[in-house]
A and B are shown apart, each in its own frame.
Chain A
Amino acid sequence: MYVHGEAWTIKELFVLPNEYIYWSIQIVMYPFMTGLVAGAFVLSSLYHVFGIKQLKEMARFALVFSFALLPVAMLPLQMHLQQPQRGIEVFMTPHFTSAIAAFGIVFSTYGAIVASEIWFVYRKHLVRTALALRNRANKRISEKIQSLIFNALTLGVYDISERALHQDEKAVKVLAGIGIPVACFLHGYAGFIFGSVKANALWMTPLMPVIFIMSAIVSGIALCMLTYIVVMEIRKFLAARKNAARLTHQTKEEIKGIEINVIKMTAKYLLFFLIFAISLELLDLIFRGYTAVKTWDILRSVIYGKDFTDIFILQYGVGNLLPFILFLLPGLTVRRTLIGVILVLFGVFMMRWNVVIGGQSFSLTFAGFMHYHLPIIPDSIETFKEGLFGALLVFATPFVLFWILNKVFPVFGIEESH
């Protein structure tokens, strides 16, 4: 007879009998993954809406990546449900006084926006590929399937005249413009889910949605940079191989030049949002200490005592300060950026961890603590879903999806993209 939460919760001092860490690693993953989605989209919109030309290369990449991340924002939620087969009820019978009920609407709206934006961006490519495949004689089975997919994706519109393409551009701009507030809403309201829980002393703050949005953008940009660097390294490797040279359009040196420029530009935006995120988090902390309401005693013992390493060493130190210095030092290199963005991602993950797990590490009695022990080796479905491997599964999925999406919507090497 297992009680949900008992496997990974250790109670200390006066904790109520029903209290456990009910929201575990998957609920840490949920805001982390949604944050990546929102952040990647905002990054792509910086080019499409505000016309920041230096981000052109990154924008297309970020857009497709954001789409690959999208289904994964829902995966951790689904995995943590006690009745996953009923998850669809949130879409079918939403109870609108609940912050979670809006999920279905916000999520589908956002999904529709990203999907249509990608369609407009890639329309020319889709049409050309579809027509080329259609006119090819003696098609193999794989080509027939390809032809079918591409022809379906054109939605029957084969007009790629100058005028039509110009309209596509307009549509992309509008969609990206609408997408920014929707992406912020998608993630801001993830913050609202936590910030509005009045029973939880650590979560309840109106700053929560804003803090979530800022750190979301930070993490989204960082992940795009990370993936971008990895992909560029692979392309460089391919370009260096003579026989593969024909496949890529650029030489190794050309790629290298583009890479460092894009990275330097994106790093500036990363820093900008990082400063915002840290300022807000510190404001929240200072405000709590200064006002010192009834709950501050227990919060202080969690923040400065039990969770000190997680918050100040891992999140602020390793995850924020260290990459901050790495990016600010002159002569930014690809390798330094790579270390920097990995640390930033780690920092944002720790922030989610400290909010979700930290918020449940003290009792409603304000006189007891709960410690979370992440299940590593799963001994049941429960400890798999809400353990290390469940979290890794969630983290790995978007990369697999991106790899698949990239076959249809190639992010590099097509000059006809918007």
Chain B
Amino acid sequence: MITRRKFLKNTIAGIAGLALPAAGAEIVSPRKLFAARNDTISGPNVRWAFLVDTYKCVGCGLCVKACKLENEVPYDANVTRTWVERYVLTKDGRIHADSPKGARDGFTTSKIDLGEGRFHDIKKEDIDKAFFVPKLCNQCENPPCVQVCPVGATYQTADGVVLVDRKWCIGCGYCIMACPYGVRFFHPVYHVAEKCTFCYHRITKGLKTACVQACPFGARMVGNIKDPNDPVSRIIRTERVSVLKDEYGTRPQVYYLGISREVI
């Protein structure tokens, strides 16, 4: 006959016994192990940030092309980690904007893509101003995508980059819905959430991102915002920069030079 005292005793002992291996797992936490390694650039003194100088962008799309190849996003699939938008403001006060195929092939025609195979041709003399805006993941300081992931498959690294664990993502799409910048999509091959990682595999080894490397005009720069001598960090501190959609409280870390109020 089992007594109440004995039952409680055994239960407590059982729980303690089960908890021990869990405590062991904590001791060898992979995150801490990774942080202890010193062959990668990361840790408390690094916070990756991006700078886009829109004055320099000509909309050639080489960055998009390079990104797709580097990160194995199927070349012909209509999704992309980074893209370039074209804004054309006409004298009648209207804003025309497009980004056909994410500008993978550049902007080869002056016609604005209206979708559904329709185009709108704008005469040169009607244009007030026109410019290009490259976009990519903002690696937000307060990322809504990480907040809403139901299983914790998307996470922020210590150096500020938001990544997706392809082995853990369930593909619910909540992160895609939560991103105010529309940078996320489902990978056509892996069928999990996919996004720009600032080429994390490259930057942590001291390389530039694929898009930065591919840009012939220096419109894109990546750097460490915590390093006072970093060129990106210096420009962000000393010049007049802006970010996108800061009203969402996401604290985006892609900074823009020369952005116009029409850009959203």
Pair count A-B, CB < 8 A: 145
Q: CB distance B150 to A101 under 8 Å? A: yes
In the assembled complex, the Cα of A11 lies from the Cα of B169 at a distance in Å of 27
In the assembled complex, the Cα of A11 lies from the Cα of B115 at a distance in Å of 6
Query: Which residue of A14, A83, A197 is within 8 Å of B169 (Cβ)?
Result: A83
- Closest approach, in angstroms, between the C-beta of B114 and any C-beta of chain A? 6
Q: CB distance A364 to B171 under 8 Å? A: no
In the assembled complex, the Cα of A19 lies from the Cα of B174 at a distance in Å of 13
Residues of B within 8 A of A18 (CB): 79-80, 83, 176, 182-185
Query: Which residue of A13, A14, A81 is within 8 Å of B172 (Cβ)?
Result: A81
Query: Which residue of A6, A17, A81, A197 is within 8 Å of B101 (Cβ)?
Result: A17
- Is B149 among interface residues, defined by CB-CB distance under 8 A? yes
- Is A12 among interface residues, defined by CB-CB distance under 8 A? yes
Q: CB distance B97 to A14 under 8 Å? A: yes
In the assembled complex, the Cα of A22 lies from the Cα of B176 at a distance in Å of 8
Listed stretches A50-58, A88-96, A167-175; interface member: A88-96
In the assembled complex, the Cα of A11 lies from the Cα of B189 at a distance in Å of 23
Q: CB distance A22 to B186 under 8 Å? A: yes
How many chain-A residues does the 8 Å CB contact rule pick out?
48
Residues of B within 8 A of A199 (CB): 144, 177-180, 248
- Is A178 among interface residues, defined by CB-CB distance under 8 A? no
In the assembled complex, the Cα of A368 lies from the Cα of B112 at a distance in Å of 13
Query: Which residue of A3, A90, A98, A99 is within 8 Å of B77 (Cβ)?
Result: A3
**Known pairs A11-B115, A16-B83, A100-B150; A4 contacts B78 (CB<8 A):** no
**Known pairs A17-B101, A199-B179; A3 contacts B186 (CB<8 A):** yes
In the assembled complex, the Cα of A200 lies from the Cα of B83 at a distance in Å of 21
Q: CB distance B188 to A1 under 8 Å? A: yes
**Known pairs A19-B182, A197-B177, A367-B97; A12 contacts B171 (CB<8 A):** no
**Known pairs A1-B188, A18-B183, A86-B170; A368 contacts B264 (CB<8 A):** no
- Is B151 among interface residues, defined by CB-CB distance under 8 A? yes
- Is B76 among interface residues, defined by CB-CB distance under 8 A? yes
- Is A378 among interface residues, defined by CB-CB distance under 8 A? no
In the assembled complex, the Cα of A191 lies from the Cα of B114 at a distance in Å of 34
Residues of A within 8 A of B180 (CB): 198-199, 364
- Is A138 among interface residues, defined by CB-CB distance under 8 A? no
Count chain B CB atoms within 10 A of each CB in A80, A83, A200, A366 and give the residue with the most: A83
Q: CB distance A103 to B150 under 8 Å? A: yes
- Is A397 among interface residues, defined by CB-CB distance under 8 A? no
Q: CB distance A89 to B151 under 8 Å? A: yes
- Closest approach, in angstroms, between the C-beta of A61 and any C-beta of chain B? 34
- Closest approach, in angstroms, between the C-beta of A85 and any C-beta of chain B? 9
- Closest approach, in angstroms, between the C-beta of A150 and any C-beta of chain B? 30
Residues of A within 8 A of B80 (CB): 17-18
Q: CB distance B170 to A3 under 8 Å? A: no
Residues of B within 8 A of A103 (CB): 150
Query: Which residue of A3, A6, A22, A97 is within 8 Å of B177 (Cβ)?
Result: A22
Q: CB distance A365 to B152 under 8 Å? A: no
Residues of A within 8 A of B34 (CB): none
Count chain A CB atoms within 10 A of each CB in B74, B77, B150, B168 and give the residue with the most: B150
Sampled A-B contacts (6; CB under 8 Å): A18-B80, A23-B173, A83-B192, A86-B170, A200-B177, A367-B264
Those 7 A-B pairs whose CB atoms lie nearest each other, nearest first: A82-B171, A95-B152, A100-B150, A17-B102, A199-B180, A16-B182, A18-B185
